[in-house]
Amino acid sequence: MPSWPLHLTADRPQESSPTASSPSGEPAGGTESKTTLPFDQTRPVARLAAASSDIFADPIGTGPPPPQIKQRKDHPAPRVGINAKGPLQTNKFFSNFFMGKQTSPAYLHPYSVYWAKGSGDTKSYGLAISQIEANQRVFGETGPNGAARYFANPSGIQHLCLSASELGAKTVLTTDQMSAFMGQISFRPKEGAEPCVQFHMLQGSGFITAIYSNCQPVLETAIGWKTVTKATVQPKPGIDKYKLILNNGQTWLVYARPSKGNPLDLQVANAHLAGAKGAFTGIVQVAKDPGQGEAVYDKACGAYPTDMALSGSVQGARGTYSFKWKKGGDLNAKLVMFALPHHVSSFDAATKAGATPVKLQTTTKGIATAFLGDEWTMVEDRLPISMAFKPWSPEKGTINSIPDAAKAVIREVALREAAQDVSKQSDQNSMYFSGKVMLPPPRGQPPFPVEMAELANLLLTGPLPVRFDSLLPARYAWRQGGRSPLPAEVDHGF
């Protein structure tokens, strides 16, 4: 199997930049030189992962980028407040915490969270938390087929805000750690101050967990609460519980576990704010109870996820992959994590055993179900390993016999596609759509042999995306530690 990138041949020159590094690790300077394709075939730009029981254990490639991708150490979209070391994660669910004004949401499913930054009805400077129900959606006009053209979920609703009395107009939000599945953010009273409250952002979190460090917790709501009630019996030794009934009828639960010092003592100031009487060090967790959830949350309170590891293996047509969470707080408690429908449909028996009756709506992923457990295992029993270029379906496998009428239609369409100017069509301002144009359907595969003119033109002329010289060219963002199209373009995948 060839390593990436493919070694294409072209007969016209184009720009590339040196990829040598200075002793400091930054790209070396120097003028750009003219080179011609083919790509450097002697340079190992990637390697295949060694055989392993974990198919995610080895990286696909660890070498520098090919010379066709120029390097730069900055990025036109500034990354704000990042203290994390090493390569920076890109295109992550938590990226809004270090992009722009740092106030756009992170969608954790089922909760969405964002830095309130003095906005909204609460004027909070803490973390705003929202969970949208299906009846809150807004639908667009109905199309010819009877379906709505679009739907939108409301944003900016501050069901609850986790903040502190020390946070105000000088508050600074930093991202102190990040991995493929987690971003740790800190709220600091001012530039250079120690964190007052921190959060580990992981998708599927059953609780939104705030880690306070010697400051006064504040809970705020834009909805207003009817009642704030402290439980007379602790769900676990050392953990206090409060039940919040909001004016919209929703029930939210608050759990507080001190790591040292005094327990949390919330005092209601008004219909929108409750604050601690004194400084608190420990965790405060909040969760929405849709009904039948209190016993589940009581069992899981005190523990929270701090990161996640992905592993997987394949044997024949059976594939298995697992999510295993690291956790903080009460290490003896099982985590409560929300699974999406496609997770649940593939769970093995051990994971299914952790199912609970707690279900919450997500914005775009259907109904999420809460499961108790520190690890999920998902199994796919019918991997499409027999799929080739001929028609194929999971039920029937490869279909070798196709009616002549169908062949004629396919051939007609394929010929029309082969006559198009792929180089011109692939010169767009998006590598996403350019790539779709560059990925033609299989040519010359029986039973539909067609002319190879289009593919030959694609290889010989070197379309712009292959040469990394399109309208939005790719550049290796040295500070990011990975590839980044510059200027930044919208990602259409998930």
> How far is residue 388's CA from residue 397's CA, in Å, rounded to a whole number?
10
pLDDT at 66: 80
Backbone angles phi, psi at 193, to 5 degrees: -75, 160
Q: Please tell me which residue, 149 or 440, carries the higher pLDDT value.
A: 149
Residue type present at position 214: N
**What span, in angstroms and rounded, lies between the C-alpha atoms of 58 and 75?**
28
d(C-alpha 300, C-alpha 303), whole Å = 6
- Name the phi and psi angles at 110, rounded to 5: -95, -10
Q: What would the pLDDT profile of 89-125 be if each residue is shown by its tens digit?
A: 878 999 999 999 999 999 999 999 999 999 999 999 9
Identify the band that residue 427 occupies on the pLDDT scale cut at 50, 70 and 90.
Answer: confident
Supply the mean pLDDT for the chain.
82
Q: What's the average model confidence in pLDDT over 338-357? A: 98
Question: How far is the first Cα of the chain from the last one, in angstroms, to the nearest whole number?
Answer: 27
Contact 386, 395 (CB under 8 A): no
Residue range 382-392, pLDDT digits in tens: 898 888 878 88
Q: What band does 469 get if pLDDT is binned at 50, 70 and 90?
A: low
Question: What CATH architecture is 103-305?
Answer: Distorted Sandwich (2.70)
CB atoms within 10 A of CB 440: 15
Say whether pLDDT at 165 is over 90.
Answer: yes
Report which residue type is found at 99. M
123: left (phi > 0), else alpha (psi -120 to 50), else beta?
A: left
CA distance 48 to 2: 9
Q: What confidence score (pLDDT) does residue 479 get?
A: 54
H or E segment to which residue 413 belongs: helix 404-418
- What pLDDT was estimated at residue 94? 96
**DSSP secondary structure code for residue 409 in this structure:** H
In whole angstroms, give the CA distance from residue 488 to residue 472: 8
Residue 69 pLDDT grade (very low, low, confident, very high; cuts 50, 70, 90): confident
Q: How far apart are CA 235 and CA 67, in angstroms?
A: 60
How many angstroms from the chain centroid is the CA of residue 373? Answer: 21
